Structures are given as C-alpha cells and as structure tokens.
Structure 1
Amino acid sequence: MPEPRDSRLSGAFEAYRTLTLDAVVPAGPDAVRRTVRRRRRRRVTTVAVVVAAAVAAPVAAWAALGRAPTPAPVTSPAPSTAPAPSESPSVGPSASPSAPTGRIERAELLAATVDLPAWPAGAGCRARNVRLAERTGGSGDVLLSTSAYAYGDVDGDGVPEPVALLRCLRGRSPYPEQVVAFDRGADGVPVALGRVFRSDPRRPEWFVALDARPDGALRVEVADRLPTDGREPDAAHRQTRTYRWTDAEFTQTGGPTAFPVEPPPSVSTSATGPTPVSPLFAVTTTPVVYGPPDADGWRRGMTTVTVTNIGSGRLTDVRVTLPDSAEDTHEHTRVESCPTAAHRGTFFYCYPGPLEPGGRAVVGLHFIRRTTGPDHHLTVQAERGGEGAAVPGTTTRADIPVTFE
C-alpha cells in the first residue's frame, strides 16, 4: 500500500496535466501551414527591400544629374511611400550663336564682302560690295596681298587688326594700290576701318613695304619710282612714313610727307636739235626722207634712233616706244636691232635689250606712205617699262623730222 505523501504528489502532477493539456497544440498540418506562411512573409519582405534599394539607386543618380526619371507605372493598389520626383525645368529654344569676336583671320576676311575706301579718280575700280581675291583674277578684281599683310592693335582695343595692301587689277599697269586696316563691325562681320596709304601716280608715290609696330603704329615704305623687274628703287628714292589711328582716321605722324622735287632734266643735242632727256637716257634721231613712189605707189623712208644709258646703273627694261601715225605707216616687219617687239593698242614697242652705263642701242624704224608733204615731225621715246606702263620720270622724247624728195 503506498505511502500517504506519495499519493499527494501524484495527485498534484495529475492536476497540472489536466490544467495544461488544452494549451498544448500538437505539431499537425495547421502548424506546418502557419510556419510556411510565416517564412513566405519573410521572403516577400526581403525581396521588397532589395527592389526598393535597386529602384532608389538610379533615382538618386538621376537626381544628382539634375534630371528626373520617368516614373514607373504603379502596379500595387497601395499608395506609394516614395517622394514624388521633382519636375525637370523646361528647356527653351537654343540661343542664337553670338557674333564672332577676336582676331580676324585671313580666311574670314577673304570670305567677307566689304566696302573699301575710294580708289584714285578714274581708276575704274569698285569700292562697294567687294569680295577680295587671293590669286590673280580678271580685270576689276581686288587682290589681298600675301606678302604685305600684317596684324597690329591699331585702335588700342587689345585685339590686333589685319592691315594689308590691296591691288586693283585692270587692263593696264601700274595697278592702283592702297593699304587698308580692317576691324569687326557691330555684328562681328569684317569691315574696312580706314585707309593708311594710297599709291598715287600723279605725285608719284608707290608702295614698297609694310610694317605693324607693337605700339599700334604702322610704318609704310614708299618710293617715287615704280619697282620693276623685281627690283626696288635704291635708298635715294625711298622713304619710311609712320601712321596712327586718331580721330576715326589714319594720319601720318612721322617721316617725310613728300619726295623732293628733282632738278629739271638736262638737254642734249642731236641732229634734230635740242632733245630733253631724263636722268637715264639721251636720244638722237635721223630724219625720215621719203623717196619717189615705187611700182605699188608707196613712198618709203627710215630713221635711226640711238638710245644712250647716261645713268649709273645697268638697265634691263629699256624700250623704245613709237606712237602710231595716221599718215606715216610704220612697217612692223622691218625693224633693225630690235630682238623683241610688240604692238599694243596705238603704240609699237621695241625692246633692244639691257644697257650698261654709257651703253647705246641703235634701232632702225621703217615707214611707208602714199601721199606727199607737207614736212612734219614724228615722236619717239625711250623709257623703262617692260610690259607695263612707263616708270615715271624715266621717259625721254625726241622728234623725228619727216621730209620728201
């Protein structure tokens, strides 16, 4: 028979099991389902966190660049907790490009259409809406020199302006020339700022060289004799003049303003009497004496023209020029001691060749005529000129007496 104390303990344990039995849930199917649902909620929460991080990264990057991405369509009925992206600023139409500034390059100057300072009266050169040319073109073109081209801050604005020699082509030389400075207009387009120097055959003054100084001054070297055959006048016939931009124009601020007047030409004596000569040539002639008519009715005669180099230098561009006459017809095919000849316009040109100091050229010119008298004179001249106009101050004229038998 058990002890009374053991009975009391057994009764106590039995009472505890009775009270707690209903609170214990067996590990059946329901418990398994609850565990699975709980694990699924954990995975969904984890995926949501990862997706949110992936979306937030590009949003932050676009925001750092000042742009907002296109919001993705909302697929969940739940309200979004992310802040709405700020609206991107509206972009207006692009502004028109600003007007060009800075130094005018040569290519830009050649591409522009400009108005130029006036050319000498009667030059036949355009000054309005001119497109400068870089290479030799047709008559009327204005060439932009490649050698006489420089940059200088002539107006003191801190930007160097192009300064260049312009040459107007026309049917005959010497060609009108002028030194012009260019700048930008209010719209940035190149315009002529002003004329620095202009060649003038009436004075005469011819351009030789150009130099732009660091202080904005322009130095122009000029001569009173036209350079020919690639040779420039010697130092006795050259001057350097300085110009500056003042009061909206270029004014001369240094150097001589004109060439000294040379003494009048000397006089030599020939068979025809006193003959004026230049400092370079003396010319003598013999009379043309027409004989009786030949079988064809033509009277014939000739003259001998002697040209002497009385200068101190060798001359390579000597020519004898004979104007055409209405009655006395020059026989171009019968010219003596004239290795090269040409007929242009109303003049016949004979090129006897180089002359050393003191050297002489003797040229025979033949004439024919149908009628007689009265006695009269023809004119012939010796000069330097090559293929162009005569070099100013080098022409010596002489008369040719004409008589009849």
Structure 2
Amino acid sequence: CQFIDEHVSLNNESHVDTQLIHREAMLQFGQTGDSAVNPRAVTFLVTGSKLDLRRYMEGVEAEQLECEMRRYSTEGIHVRWPVQGAQGYNRWFSCTLRHSEGLFTVTGFLRHPSDQPPPGQQDYRRWPPIADGEILSTTGKLNTVPSIRLKQTCCLHCQFAIDHKGPNMTVEWHRQHRGERVKLFSHTSRSGRTEGTGVGLKDLAGGDASYNLQFTKMSSEATYICSVSVVPLFASVDVNLRIEGEEINRVRKKWQKILIVCPINKLNDCLCLTVFLTSVSLVAMVIKTQSPSVKASLRSQKKLHCQFAIDHKGPKVTVEWHQLHRGKKIKRFSYISDSGRTEGTGVGLKELSGGDASYNLRSTEMSSEGKYICSVSVMPLLADMQINLHITGEKFIILLFQIGGHKFLLSELRQVQHR
C-alpha cells in the first residue's frame, strides 16, 4: 500500500499548511503479535473483527488492486466506539482499495485502540508520529462503476458494513452534474426519517444502499455520490454513470463552434452563420440569419430571418424564439419535432420542416421593438442568433392631465428616428 501521511504546521500568517508525505506501507491480515512481512514499511496489521475487507475482493489478484492508507480526522469529535473490548480512545485510518480496471472501490476504516486521550485541539494538528517499520494493530462501503445502456433500468451499487448492531447512521445519495449538486435520497436510522426514493429500506437494513434508476436517458449521465455516516466516521463513494449506445456514441463527438459574419451589400447588412464542426472537421449543424440588426416601419409586416441545416435526417430538433423587451424575456414561439408540440405563432410549420425558422411579424408596434433570439437545439448542440429590431415611423404621445375638476387630453405626433 501507499501510506499518505501528513505533516501539519502553521505558517507565518497563522494558516494551516499540510504537507503530504508518501510512505511505503503494508496492509497485512493476521493475528496480534504477527511479524511484519516487510519490516522496513509501516504495517497496518488487521486483526480479528466482524468485518473482513477481504470478502469484498474474492477472486481478485493482488496485482489488480490499488491500495491507499490515510489518517482519518474525526474533527475533534470523540465518542466511544460501541463494540466489545473497545478501549476509551481510538486513532482512525481510512483504507481505500480500488480495482485497477475500475470494477469497484472499497473504503474501510481501521481502528487503532489507544490509551492516550486526544489532544485538546483538532487531531490533525498534532498527529502522533508513526515510525518506519512500526506495526499498528487495527480492527476493522463499497462501490462499482456500472456501464449502462440507454433506456434500461440501472442499479448504482453501494454496500456498507458496520461492526456493531443498531448504529446511528445516515445514508445519502446525491447527483452532481455541471457543478450542480442535488440530493436524491436520505435516511437516518435513529429517527427513521426518509427523504426521496430509489433505495429500498429493507435492503438498507441489510447494508445495501444501492440506488435504482428506473429509466436511464442521456440526461442521466452524471456523478452519483453515495455517503454513509456513523459518528465520528463519514465516507462517500462516487459512481460515474456513462450512458452507452450507438446513438449516444455519435452525439459524443468533439465539437467546435464557429461564428462567421460576412458583409453582403454596401448597406452594412451581413450574413451571420454559426457552424458546428466535428473533430474530423465535418459540418454537423449550421444556423444563419441575414442581418443582426434590422429596421421596420410602424404597423408594417416584417420577417426576421433564421435558417438552419443539420447533417442527418429525423433529428430531435427544438426551435424557439424569444423577445427581450425592457429587461423582460418573452417566449414568442417554440416547437419540438419529435412530439410535434407547438406554442405561439409566427413560424410556419411547413417552412420549419425545410429548415426555415424565420419569424413573421404581421403588424409591428412600438412594443415590437427589441432584441429577438432564434435558438435551435439538436442534442448535444445548441446555437442561437440574435436580431435587433428597430421601429421607425410616426407614433402618438398621449398626455392626460387634470386641472381642477376638468380633464385634458393632449396628443402630439412625433417622428421616430432610427437609433
């Protein structure tokens, strides 16, 4: 094993500095008093316990395992570990065993009894020294990384074992994706309180905290975190869920997004293109508009151009138009191809099937002025084009005021200049 030791000190600014020291170590199973297999290394001698780490690794060769030992800080919390023969104080170590091909990860906590009370400060600030060749007699969760096919039921494995009955434990599952962490399930044994679903309580009582995903889809891809806490111990394991299948492998290509702006006349109008390229420089999707800034007369018809093209037939396409007006974002139109669901008007469905998502304003008003956004989504690609619409022409400013008991209405006609 590799023992990652710590040397903790305070720097000149009274901040804690932690230096990691990589030391040679052995994880040895046997009886108290056994000699060390490697007398030069720190030996963690795992003796009799109700838990045996080896049972989680049956049929696995030693060279297939990666082993890591660390000190474990209880963050100043001291509780008597409720097992027969336990002494008043304990030093804790974590042992992590990983399969070299990622088939499983096992995390175990090793308890080293001690007659020395903990220091009156955080334990990590004054770790008891461990010499090379020292033998530490100790007594003693589980995770696999599944490979799941699309649209199948999936079980994210997480098992645990504790060396005494009736522990006060908390089990939780979280989903983490793109920086967002969401709690999926939690259960506290003492209160019996449960939040969420996905874990069977009968299975939980037997040490199986596996989480069941009833229907996997592309959005199911994420890191799922199983955590088990028994004061003063806490451990968690990550399950990186990856969805497989020919369709998914195809959309996992590496993409490059390129914006191209080309003048098309002397009036400063231009053609805007957003192009997605695969890693082998094949064009996958294009979205374009004729000009990012257009004018329209008051009470006239106006067409806001937006066309797109995709390199394969029958894609699941979502098209949306939004208007930004005075700080508000208003959805004007949306269409989802696979369901045929449409909201709003302004885009012809026949034209849409041919790649023309242009938005038609039948009669412009002053409230029509603003920024319009045409967005086209084909998983995993999303592109949008922005068009600024300016209204020109005449408008009425109407003023209503009151003098005494009489009301007056004043209208003023003004020419609206293009800004």
Which of the pair is proportionally richer in helix?
1
Q: Which has more radius of gyration?
A: 1
TM-score (norm 2): 0.33
Which of the pair is proportionally richer in strand?
2
